[in-house]
Amino acid sequence: MKSHRKLSRALAERVGWDSGIGPFLLKKLPSKTGWSATLGSASVLLFITMFASGVFLAMYYNPSPDKAYDAVDYIMTKVPAGKILRGIHHWGASAMVIVVFLHMMSSFFAGSYKKPRELTWISGVVMLLIVLGLGFTGYLLPWDLKAYWATTVSTNIPKDIPIIGEFLSHLALGGDAISGSTLTRFYAVHAMLLPALLVAFVAFHIYLVRAHGIAEEEEGATAGDAGTERSEAPDQSSDERPYRFFPEHLWRSSIVFVAVFLILLGLSFWAHIPREEVAGTRVDNYLPRPEWYYMWLFQLLTLFPGRFEWVGSLIIPFTGVALLFALPFINRRGRLGATNRPLPLAIGSSVIVGIVYLTFMGFAGAKPYGETIRVADRELSRTEKRGLFLYADRQCAYCHQINGQGGHRVGPDLSNEVAKRRSADYLAKYIRDPKSVNSTSIMPKYDLPDADLHALADFILSLDATKSSSRIVTKAQALGQPQQP
Ligand code: HEC
């Protein structure tokens, strides 16, 4: 018995129990610490889960364009418990975004970013961005059509940035379009760079949380003194049970985590992970869709079609992130606690409502792209009308603009084809099989009858950006003229 105690004493000395781990684990937290404070530790536990499942997935995954897709199939069908492993990793990504977001929201509403916790908040914002980056880079790895197109659309966005835009997009893709280099890049960033950064920031964040204590609102207290260490003071209410980090808080956090984990487990058993054909498969009329937590951004883009796309794709997101970083310096005074802060409460709630609204709109399939189409300001010929119908029906506007408007800028503006001196035959050939003209093409193939291909070509050649007169027809009008050529 005695030697046993001696050994544990010696071990405690070796690991620095008294000066480090011990006080860290057994630290008393404010007795009012609520359940919302468990979101932080629950995020860390989730991250550990993602890390562990990711390591196992990496054992079977192969980041090359001709192997990645099959590797995922192999994991799903052959690897023991592979389906569960991938399910947990797949659904866990969403859970992580949700938990981290909720954690941030509760800090926002509680006002706990105020002095002296500015850095704690800022490191939290960085971690939110890292988690979103993990989701973004991970989305490409299954290498199916969905992954391919979502990445194509999003890596086109930086092109709106003046001067360095092309360079940034090139840097992300490792070339002009998605290829094997993109896949290895995304994999390296997803599996090495971002997790390492996240670990560093988690450590820094936890250190800061400890250094400043949990923010709590006292009667009449203001931001400056609300966070002073009260737990060190002699217990006034010694009848209350102590609330320590270990075991009380960790226990509570584990309950939250286990609840989340059980949901993930359930999903990986019973929910189907959306899976499409392998990237590069040619399909007609493909509609790119992002991961759900990016849907609101995607939807935001559609509110600023054409020339003003950069407002939705760059200005709003960048301003949003800048405001998040600046928050502790903008809103310095005033009390803590959600109920004492009507203005931040109102602003925060409106932002959340906006995001939820845009997300729903995105999923409701509202597609303002191509709702209006610019055509030449004259009576269109029969084939041009047919071409207009096909343009609307096949949703070319999903990737093309006309006169800088009405579509998403994935491909070239189609009102420049006349200036580029394209012939009708060239255009027809291009639309039927883009790869036959341009081997690096990413445009889907449209296997239409010859007459239809020429109708599209005629329509495109009727557009000419150098001629100023054009009029607008709505998609409904365009679709109301489905005469056969
Ligand atoms: C998913 C995106 C996407 C869709 C949908 C799409 N395109 Fe394209 N298109 C592109 C891209 C990107 C290019 C540029 C080079 C390439 O092929 O990758 C392009 C190039 C073209 C070109 C060649 C321009 C030139 O001068 O070489 C034509 C013509 C064209 N598209 C017409 C159409 C038509 C008509 C439709 C609808 C039936 C359509 N596109 C649908 C992405 C798309």
Q: Ligand 1 in contact with 350 (CB < 6 A)?
A: no
Q: Which CATH number fits domain 32-215+240-363: 1.20.810.10, 3.40.50.300, 3.40.50.2300, 1.10.3720.10?
A: 1.20.810.10
Among 120-129, 141-150, 288-297, 458-467, the minimum mean pLDDT is found in 288-297
Query: Could you tell me the two tokens for 297?
Result: 């951004």
Q: Ligand 1 in contact with 71 (CB < 6 A)?
A: no
Query: Could you tell me the two tokens for 5?
Result: 């105690």
Does position 123 have pLDDT exceeding 90, yes or no? Answer: yes
Distance CA 49, CA 39 (A): 15
Average pLDDT, the chain: 85
CB-CB contact of 103 with 39 (8 Å): yes
Distance CA 160, CA 259 (A): 43
Distance CA 282, CA 428 (A): 17
Maximum Cα interatomic distance, the chain, rounded to a whole number of Å: 101
Query: Could you tell me the two tokens for 337?
Result: 């606690």
Residue with the smallest CA separation from ligand 1 atom 23 is 430
User: How far, in Å, from the CA of 307 to the mean position of ligand 1?
Assistant: 19
In a 10 Å sphere around its CB, with 0-12 CB exposed, 13-18 middle and 19+ buried, how is residue 281 labelled? middle
Residue with tokens 């450590």: 203
| Range picked from 193-197, 281-285, 310-314 for highest mean pLDDT | 193-197
| Range picked from 48-62, 443-457, 470-484 for highest mean pLDDT | 48-62
The pLDDT-based confidence of 388 (bands split at 50, 70, 90) is very high
What proportion of the chain, given as a percentage, has pLDDT over 90?
43
Does position 263 have pLDDT exceeding 90, yes or no? Answer: yes
Confidence at residue 306, expressed as pLDDT on a 0 to 100 scale: 56
Fold equal for 32-215+240-363 and 372-479: no
Q: Ligand 1 in contact with 394 (CB < 6 A)?
A: yes
pTM of the predicted model, to two decimals?
Answer: 0.76
What is the CATH topology of the domain spanning 372-479? Answer: Cytochrome Bc1 Complex; Chain D, domain 2 (1.10.760)
Q: What is the pLDDT of residues 389-413, one digit of tens each?
A: 999 988 898 888 888 777 776 788 8
User: How far, in Å, from the CA of 444 to the mean position of ligand 1?
Assistant: 8
Q: What is the pLDDT of residues 198-249, one digit of tens each?
A: 999 999 999 998 888 777 654 444 444 434 444 444 444 445 678 888 888 8
User: How far, in Å, from the CA of 72 to the mean position of ligand 1?
Assistant: 30
Domain-by-domain residue ranges, the chain? 32-215+240-363, 372-479
User: How far, in Å, from the CA of 398 to the mean position of ligand 1?
Assistant: 10
Does position 485 have pLDDT exceeding 50, yes or no? Answer: no
User: How far, in Å, from the CA of 450 to the mean position of ligand 1?
Assistant: 17
Query: Could you tell me the two tokens for 279?
Result: 């990237």
At residue 464's C-alpha, the angle toward residues 458 and 468, to 5°, is 140
